[in-house]
């Protein structure tokens, strides 16, 4: 498929033909009985995106079958809300002068239209489609994003932007985290103090959420809520102290972390509250699935409460896991009375709970013993706030062990917002979200990393960011959990904007990928090193140039050491490149200089699994290097180290 358009996620079956269909200014469309509101709106969005992509105004017009360029055939059914497990497959054909889309459901048609948009190409002011036949379907039915709306409030426009990006890569679940230690984010009429006293003024009106649910449903995306219980619940306890175990908190938490604020797990007042709360929220969120949290319950407030300990003994609950399991049983019975299918984080499975409860992993692998009976959603290895490279997410398969495939519903990429807000969220998650989306949709044997990179869209650097600042943003990435290294002296406040330069750094860039691939090709195949040499030479003066740029800007001056590190890395990289070109080994002095540079500026990033990330964080916490060097990763450090190692051997 030479010069064939880049499709992402990669369809299951693609048969490329020879020839093309030139798109007329007005495309005749036939939709059978037609008139479906969802289809009319879908085609309107399609033409808007198509016009933006091509610069050519193209319209649709309903016509008789014989005159149609585009024919859409879809099965009958209720198109109001997407449902879990629906048939999302589609068949797309572009042959002769015809485009045909066939699907059993509207959501298959929506996926076909997204593929069609990716197929459109422009040449000499003319838009056209290549001849092709595509049969496609998702590998997993649950392909989602968990969006934390609490630690930093995410406005509706940003959520809609995220939804449009999800649709582009065929994700179909938006899981909204709406309560946590730092606030409650929904207008609640039964318990108004939740948003009046426990939101810092940042919450969504119920009318706004209904509109958002409709907006998502029209695009084939389901919205499910998460309300955390019994832990991560400071917002509930601040608004209604009667719910607290032990002494209730006087204020919301304003920083990230795991806190000991927990609901009283055995009080009838707690379950009376939950019953009324669920009754209202279940009506607001029509999807049958409901996430109750259940993670990171420390139990310390339970240990210190004599009443809870006495009740636990009377009920035969031997430890906090048993207490939490008892609480969860009662919570699940309430959820089921209101027609909800419960989902909990993996800690919820440590106790003896109903086997039909869906468990969402975040630390463990799917075949962990305590998950054996449960259907699962996999988020282990899909945390977008770890700021890894796309291949780290791509190589992480939801079904990476021997667990039966039918128990894996799919996966969710997680967006935790300690260091993300509307100003940087899309930059921070691109292009990794697309890599994860392909892992959830495409066949398991689709694993070519170079091919993936050729189809990814990298974040676009703002044009107003000039010169060296723009380049630094493309060569340096944030370290996972970098904010904890400065938590005591300068904690990130969840209600304040993210102003430091580190918050604008994407996890990967087109420039860093170009450099990495050029090094790999030079080392493996002896490719011409012209690009490498030009890039390295252009970075050797980075430190000096940065000093001029940052002289009057304290935000930039904090990164002077980083700029100096880029210069030093470029210098030792040039020496190693020259040695390879001259077919000689590095001298001991040259090797020693390279080692000094790495010891002075570069810390290990750790393996991409959670254990490796936490180990690297421990090393960085104990390091004597300046704080800013402990908070970032040089994207060029590993490729340059490869050059050095090859030149030294």
Angstrom distance (rounded) from CA 28 to CA 432 = 37
| Inter-CA distances, 609 with 328, 365, 477, 563, Å | 29, 11, 17, 29
Q: Is the pLDDT of residue 627 over 90?
A: yes
Angstrom distance (rounded) from CA 262 to CA 341 = 23
Closest CA to 177 of 152, 194, 198: 152
Give the pLDDT of residue 609: 85
Phi-psi region of 506 (alpha: psi -120 to 50; beta: other; left: phi over 0): beta
**pTM metric for this prediction:** 0.96
Does residue 597 or residue 81 have the better pLDDT? 597
Closest CA to 537 of 522, 515, 520: 515
The pairing of strands 376-378 and 26-30 is unpaired
For the ranges 353-367, 557-571, 612-626, the lowest mean pLDDT is seen at 353-367
Q: Read off the pLDDT band of 75 (50, 70, 90).
A: confident
The CA dihedral of 570, 576, 581, 587, to the nearest 10 degrees, is 140
Q: Read off the pLDDT band of 33 (50, 70, 90).
A: low
Angstrom distance (rounded) from CA 114 to CA 112 = 5
Give the pLDDT of residue 363: 87
Closest CA to 344 of 289, 397, 417: 289
Neighbours of 37 (CB within 10 A): 10
Q: Is the pLDDT of residue 90 over 70?
A: yes
The pairing of strands 222-226 and 358-361 is unpaired
For the ranges 94-108, 149-163, 262-276, the lowest mean pLDDT is seen at 94-108
Q: Read off the pLDDT band of 557 (50, 70, 90).
A: very high
Q: Is the pLDDT of residue 497 over 60?
A: yes
* DSSP code, position 484: G
Give the pLDDT of residue 76: 76
Give the pLDDT of residue 478: 96
Note whether 634 and 480 are within 8 A (CB). no
Q: To the nearest whole percent, how much of the chain has pLDDT over 70? A: 96
């Amino acid at each position: 498929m030479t010069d064939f358009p880049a499709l992402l996620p990669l369809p299951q079956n693609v048969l490329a033909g020879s020839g093309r269909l030139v798109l007329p200014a007005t495309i005749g469309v036939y939709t059978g009985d037609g008139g479906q509101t969802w289809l009319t709106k879908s085609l309107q969005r399609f033409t808007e995106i198509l016009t933006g992509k091509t610069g050519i105004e193209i319209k649709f017009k309903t016509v008789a079958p014989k005159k149609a360029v585009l024919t859409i055939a879809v099965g009958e059914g209720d198109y109001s809300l997407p449902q879990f497990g629906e048939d999302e497959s589609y068949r797309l054909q572009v042959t002769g002068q015809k485009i045909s889309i066939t699907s059993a459901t509207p959501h298959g048609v929506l996926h076909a239209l997204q593929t069609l948009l990716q197929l459109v190409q422009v040449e000499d002011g003319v838009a056209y489609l290549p001849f092709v036949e595509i049969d496609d379907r998702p590998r997993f039915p649950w392909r989602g994003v968990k969006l934390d709306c609490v630690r930093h409030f995410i406005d509706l426009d940003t959520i809609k932007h995220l939804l449009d990006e999800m649709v582009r890569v065929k994700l179909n679940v938006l899981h909204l985290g709406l309560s946590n230690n730092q606030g409650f984010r929904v207008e609640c009429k039964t318990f108004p103090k939740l948003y009046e006293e426990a939101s810092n003024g940042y919450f969504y009106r119920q009318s706004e959420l209904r509109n958002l649910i409709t907006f998502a449903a029209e695009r084939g995306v389901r919205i499910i809520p998460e309300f955390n219980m019994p832990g991560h619940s400071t917002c509930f306890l601040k608004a209604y102290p009667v719910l607290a175990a032990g002494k209730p908190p006087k204020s919301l938490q304003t920083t990230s972390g795991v806190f000991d604020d927990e609901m009283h797990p055995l009080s009838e007042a707690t379950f009376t509250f939950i019953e009324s709360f669920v009754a209202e929220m279940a009506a607001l969120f029509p999807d049958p699935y409901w996430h109750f949290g259940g993670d990171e319950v420390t139990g310390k407030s339970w240990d210190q409460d004599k009443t809870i300990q006495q009740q636990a003994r009377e009920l035969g609950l031997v430890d906090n896991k048993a207490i939490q399991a008892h609480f969860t049983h009662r919570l699940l019975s309430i959820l089921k009375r209101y027609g909800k299918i419960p989902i909990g984080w993996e800690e919820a499975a440590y106790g003896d709970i109903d086997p039909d409860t869906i468990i969402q992993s975040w630390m463990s692998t799917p075949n962990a013993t305590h998950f054996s009976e449960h259907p699962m959603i996999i988020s282990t290895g899909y945390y977008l706030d770890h700021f890894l490279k796309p291949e780290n997410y791509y190589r992480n398969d939801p079904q990476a062990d021997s667990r039966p495939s039918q128990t894996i519903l799919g996966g969710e990429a997680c967006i935790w917002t300690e260091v993300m807000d509307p100003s940087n969220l899309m930059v921070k998650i691109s292009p990794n979200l697309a890599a994860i989306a392909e892992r959830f949709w495409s066949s398991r044997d689709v694993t070519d990393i170079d091919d993936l990179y050729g189809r990814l869209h990298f974040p676009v650097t703002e044009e107003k960011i000039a010169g060296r600042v723009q380049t630094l943003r493309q060569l340096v990435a944030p370290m996972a959990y970098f904010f904890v290294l400065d938590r005591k002296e300068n904690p990130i406040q969840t209600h304040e904007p993210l102003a430091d330069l580190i918050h604008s750094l994407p996890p990967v860039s087109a420039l860093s990928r170009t450099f990495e691939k050029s090094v790999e090709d030079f080392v493996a195949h002896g490719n011409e090193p012209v690009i490498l040499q030009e890039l390295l030479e252009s970075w050797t003066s980075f430190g000096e140039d940065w000093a001029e740029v940052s002289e009057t800007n304290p935000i930039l001056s904090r990164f002077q050491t980083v700029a100096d590190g880029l210069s030093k890395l470029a210098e030792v990289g040039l020496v190693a490149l020259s040695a390879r070109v001259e077919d000689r080994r590095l001298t001991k002095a040259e090797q020693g200089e390279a080692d000094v540079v790495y010891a002075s500026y570069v810390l290990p990033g750790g393996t991409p699994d959670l254990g490796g990330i936490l180990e690297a964080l421990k090393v960085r916490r104990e390091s004597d290097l300046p704080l800013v060097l402990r908070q970032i990763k040089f994207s060029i450090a590993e490729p340059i180290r490869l050059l050095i190692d090859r030149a030294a051997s």
